[in-house]
A and B are shown apart, each in its own frame.
Chain A
Amino acid sequence: MAAVQDSAVAVGAGARGRPAGQGRFAAIWTRHGAGYMFLLPWLVGFFGLTLGPAVASLYLSFTSFDLIRSPEWVGTANYVRIATADPKFAASLKVTFLYVVLSVPFKLAFALLVAILLDRGVKGLTVYRAIFYLPSLLGGSVAIAVLWRQLFAGDGLINSLLAQFGIEGPSWISHPDYSIWTLVVLSVWQFGSPMIIFLAGLRQIPTDMYEAASLDGASKFRQFYKITLPLLTPVIFFNAVVQTIEAFKAFTPAFIISGGTGGPINSTLFYTLYLYQEAFGNFRMGYASALAWILVLIIGLFTAFSFLTSRYWVHYDD
């Protein structure tokens, strides 16, 4: 957008001295009309499908709306109920935080590990990259969630494998103590996109640094700790922020694995799943909109916090 605005200003400057209004607009249109036409699909999408609904949901969050009758203004009642009288809000927030705290670090660590292994000049790197990226492409899909459900069911593949070692596994997906872990494992398994970004970051680190370090007798571990990790902090930061936001928004796996219930005993009741239940299960669109805006606020706070603390641990090489 910035570029478009700059060039529009440039046109204004170039057309100085001419009467403003119709002529000026026509001049802009002649020079940039095609550009705006190309932008049109994005503009329509942005205003019609993103900004418009967002504004509408902000309005709806102050109403009681059952989808059938017209929305009825209730002021801050929805937000008051969220804050004071909704145990399921607290429960879903707890599950979601647990999921974020567990899945993001594990996923990033695993992605970094695989990226380092791939960075060591493996033959056919592109093939491996593609293969390791595949789960990330498939991961959000319903089919994979269904597959996961079957893998972790009481008589699924995981327990068959455990049985080989004489261990009798529980029914992972339907026991409240374990169900969240199956979702964490599913999330870690989709490490592809942070891995690709780590790989790109690793490639940016000059090899002469490592050569100098090994001449000085630094161990591999020390090299990783003193060179790789500090130089990679901007990439780690980026991945952490993006993956945290993704984790907050997770929906499909929990929806499929619990059959939309968030059970057993709310153990997989992700925030987004609760929001969906309120909106489409209990027809409380206004309340669900308020929940959505609380989520926006939470993600915003987390991201702002990450940026504020980043100056203490992210090193930019400039």
Chain B
Amino acid sequence: MTMRMTRRSVLAGGAALLSYSMLASSALSQEARLRMLWWGSQARADRTNKVNQLFQEQNSGVAINGEFLGWSDYWPRLATQVAGRNAPDIIQMDYRYIVEYARRGALAPLNDYLGSVLKVEDFDKVQIEGGSVDGKLYGISLGANSAAMMVNTVAFEEAGIDLPTPATTWDDLARIGAEITKAGKRKGFYGIADGSGVEPLLENWLRQRGKALFTADGKIAYDANDAADWFAMWAAMREAKACVPPDIQALDQYTPETSPLSLGKAAASYAHSNQFVTYQGINKDKLALSNFPLIGNDAKGGHYRKPSMFFSVSAQTKDPELGAKYVNFFVTDPKAAEILGVERGVPESAGVREKLAPTLDELGRAMLDYVSGLGALAGDLPPPPPSGAGEAEFALRTVAEQVGFGQLDVKQGGETLVNEVTQILSRG
């Protein structure tokens, strides 16, 4: 359903079918066929398909069938395919789900191919470890990203306010937000999006306080006081009209298209750096990337460089070595890198990064600069989220709405959130 059909693609499909049937004998004699599945936009699909073509040209006898869906359709589809013993050979995997899939035996360990088929020696060590579960490698990072604020530069300029800097604190942001709203240059326009239900933002704020979302053994790593402070900070911003009111924030389905920034309701919103291209594509005004605010002038940043997504090889595949070969091509081949750019994040291979840098456009450049320029704002990679993390994120969102709409006060909100997350994690 998310496969976009245009007249051209139908024609192309028809033509492909025709040539396929004419070459049926040779197609059937293909030695190997790889199926792959990923989530993402049409732009990502175009890039990926081009790389697949390149791989097929260099490896005669290999056919790659790629398919893509939107994020929320992707996980049900993947789970059903794995359950039906019909999993794709190459699976795009997220940091959030890699532990679940690996522990349930759905992914093939790739350690045996390291050094031979997989040549990832010049990868950031931390990022390789990010794809490991219980000491085995299950995913190769396709690029690094970090959480980021997307800022509408035009709206800031209109209100006569400077863009946020790496030194901007939460107090600054609250003041800036209120000023933009007060400037009233646009109808129904506010300073910033209400981030009280945005998990990466809460995580960043917690890390600055020396806490985290989850412990390494999969328990909650903050307490009701932390959560109450968090909700209180946002309640104050709501009060001061620094951020959008709750009924506008509730429109946000945490996709680029529905964020208050893209809906034209706020001058700043929260996302991940590799989504910058998508955000800019749907926003007329020029956007900029900025880090999340600091909790105090001398605070250390709560950011980290995160594997934006992985390629994993299915445990059900007939030819794991070919799978590993494909993944290696995808992350190390210079021509592939040129096609892919930084759309899936900043490449992990130092060599690829070096060759790629001069070929990037302005957007790609901004992403590369942002992720590599985080400096002291970036800390250690937290352990992969435990099972139930998706549900916990959902709980944060619901409780944040309850506080936003005034059904709970900030203290009750803090207690409710911690109770619910604790329960969810204990269920696993």
How distant is the Cα of A174 from the Cα of B248 in the complex, in angstroms? 7
Q: B394 contacts which chain A residues (CB < 8 A)?
A: 261, 281
How distant is the Cα of A229 from the Cα of B170 in the complex, in angstroms? 65
Interface readout for B252-276 with A: 1 if CB under 8 Å, 0 if not? 0101001000000000000000000
- In the assembled complex, B229 has its CB within 8 A of some CB on chain A: no
How distant is the Cα of A260 from the Cα of B76 in the complex, in angstroms? 13
Residue of B nearest to A85 (CB): B423
Q: A68 contacts which chain B residues (CB < 8 A)?
A: 79, 82-83, 100-101, 104-106
Q: A259 contacts which chain B residues (CB < 8 A)?
A: 253, 255, 258
- The answer to whether A171 touches B250 (Cβ under 8 A) is yes
- In the assembled complex, A155 has its CB within 8 A of some CB on chain B: yes
| A86 to B: closest C-beta gap in Å | 10
| A171 to B: closest C-beta gap in Å | 4
- In the assembled complex, A309 has its CB within 8 A of some CB on chain B: no
Interface readout for A62-86 with B: 1 if CB under 8 Å, 0 if not? 0000111100000000000000000
Interface readout for B187-231 with A: 1 if CB under 8 Å, 0 if not? 010000000000000000000000000000000000000000000
- In the assembled complex, B280 has its CB within 8 A of some CB on chain A: no
- The answer to whether A171 touches B247 (Cβ under 8 A) is yes
- The answer to whether B250 touches A67 (Cβ under 8 A) is no
- The answer to whether A264 touches B104 (Cβ under 8 A) is no
How distant is the Cα of A119 from the Cα of B75 in the complex, in angstroms? 50
How distant is the Cα of A270 from the Cα of B390 in the complex, in angstroms? 20
Q: A66 contacts which chain B residues (CB < 8 A)?
A: 100, 104
- Interface positions, chain A 124-166, Cβ under 8 Å from B, are 153-155
- In the assembled complex, B398 has its CB within 8 A of some CB on chain A: yes
- The answer to whether B397 touches A261 (Cβ under 8 A) is yes
Residue of B nearest to A91 (CB): B398
Q: A283 contacts which chain B residues (CB < 8 A)?
A: 79, 100
- In the assembled complex, B402 has its CB within 8 A of some CB on chain A: yes
Given contacts A68-B106, A154-B248, A266-B398, contact A261 B75 (CB under 8 A): no
- The answer to whether B79 touches A67 (Cβ under 8 A) is yes
Q: B106 contacts which chain A residues (CB < 8 A)?
A: 68
- Interface positions, chain B 66-106, Cβ under 8 Å from A, are 72, 75-76, 79-80, 82-83, 100-101, 104-106
How distant is the Cα of A155 from the Cα of B188 in the complex, in angstroms? 9
- In the assembled complex, B391 has its CB within 8 A of some CB on chain A: yes
| A285 to B: closest C-beta gap in Å | 8
- In the assembled complex, A46 has its CB within 8 A of some CB on chain B: no
Residue of A nearest to B258 (CB): A259
- The answer to whether A280 touches B75 (Cβ under 8 A) is yes
Residue of A nearest to B402 (CB): A265
Partner of B247, one of A67, A69, A175: A175
- In the assembled complex, B359 has its CB within 8 A of some CB on chain A: no
Interface readout for B274-296 with A: 1 if CB under 8 Å, 0 if not? 00000000000000000000000
- Interface positions, chain B 362-397, Cβ under 8 Å from A, are 388, 390-391, 394, 397
Interface readout for B389-411 with A: 1 if CB under 8 Å, 0 if not? 01100100110011001010000
Q: A5 contacts which chain B residues (CB < 8 A)?
A: none
- In the assembled complex, A300 has its CB within 8 A of some CB on chain B: no
- The answer to whether A282 touches B390 (Cβ under 8 A) is yes
- In the assembled complex, A173 has its CB within 8 A of some CB on chain B: yes
How distant is the Cα of A163 from the Cα of B213 in the complex, in angstroms? 44
| B248 to A: closest C-beta gap in Å | 6
- In the assembled complex, B251 has its CB within 8 A of some CB on chain A: yes
- The answer to whether B250 touches A264 (Cβ under 8 A) is yes
Total interface residues in chain A, CB < 8 Å: 24
Given contacts A67-B82, A171-B251, contact A265 B101 (CB under 8 A): no
Total interface residues in chain B, CB < 8 Å: 32
Q: A265 contacts which chain B residues (CB < 8 A)?
A: 398, 401-402, 405, 407
How distant is the Cα of A155 from the Cα of B401 in the complex, in angstroms? 20
Q: B250 contacts which chain A residues (CB < 8 A)?
A: 171, 174-175, 263-264
| A49 to B: closest C-beta gap in Å | 15
How distant is the Cα of A174 from the Cα of B258 in the complex, in angstroms? 12
- The answer to whether A280 touches B76 (Cβ under 8 A) is yes
How distant is the Cα of A66 from the Cα of B401 in the complex, in angstroms? 29
- In the assembled complex, A48 has its CB within 8 A of some CB on chain B: no
- In the assembled complex, A176 has its CB within 8 A of some CB on chain B: yes
Given contacts A68-B101, A264-B401, A282-B390, contact A153 B407 (CB under 8 A): no
Interface readout for A246-280 with B: 1 if CB under 8 Å, 0 if not? 00000000000001110111100000000000001
- The answer to whether A261 touches B79 (Cβ under 8 A) is no
| A138 to B: closest C-beta gap in Å | 17
Residue of A nearest to B408 (CB): A265
- The answer to whether A280 touches B251 (Cβ under 8 A) is no
- In the assembled complex, A105 has its CB within 8 A of some CB on chain B: no
Q: B76 contacts which chain A residues (CB < 8 A)?
A: 280
| B329 to A: closest C-beta gap in Å | 28
Residue of B nearest to A264 (CB): B250
Residue of B nearest to A154 (CB): B248
- In the assembled complex, A170 has its CB within 8 A of some CB on chain B: yes
- The answer to whether B398 touches A170 (Cβ under 8 A) is no
Partner of B253, one of A154, A175, A261: A261
Q: A263 contacts which chain B residues (CB < 8 A)?
A: 250, 397-398, 401
How distant is the Cα of A67 from the Cα of B247 in the complex, in angstroms? 36
How distant is the Cα of A176 from the Cα of B398 in the complex, in angstroms? 11
Given contacts A174-B248, A176-B401, contact A282 B391 (CB under 8 A): yes
- The answer to whether A69 touches B251 (Cβ under 8 A) is no
How distant is the Cα of A176 from the Cα of B251 in the complex, in angstroms? 12
Q: A67 contacts which chain B residues (CB < 8 A)?
A: 79-80, 82-83
Q: A282 contacts which chain B residues (CB < 8 A)?
A: 388, 390-391
- Interface positions, chain A 172-186, Cβ under 8 Å from B, are 173-176
- The answer to whether B248 touches A264 (Cβ under 8 A) is no
Chain A to chain B contacts (Cβ below 8 Å), 14 pairs: A66-B104, A68-B100, A68-B101, A155-B188, A173-B251, A174-B247, A174-B248, A259-B253, A261-B253, A263-B401, A264-B250, A281-B75, A281-B394, A283-B79
Interface residues, chain B, with chain A CB atoms under 8 Å away: 72, 75-76, 79-80, 82-83, 100-101, 104-106, 188, 246-251, 253, 255, 258, 388, 390-391, 394, 397-398, 401-402, 405, 407
**What are the nearest 7 A-B pairs in CB distance?**
A259-B253, A174-B250, A280-B76, A264-B250, A67-B83, A68-B104, A171-B247
**Knowing that A68-B79, A280-B79 are A-B contacts, what are 12 other residue pairs whose CB atoms are under 8 Å apart, sorted by A's residue number?**
A66-B100, A67-B83, A68-B100, A68-B106, A154-B251, A175-B250, A260-B72, A261-B253, A263-B250, A265-B401, A266-B398, A280-B75
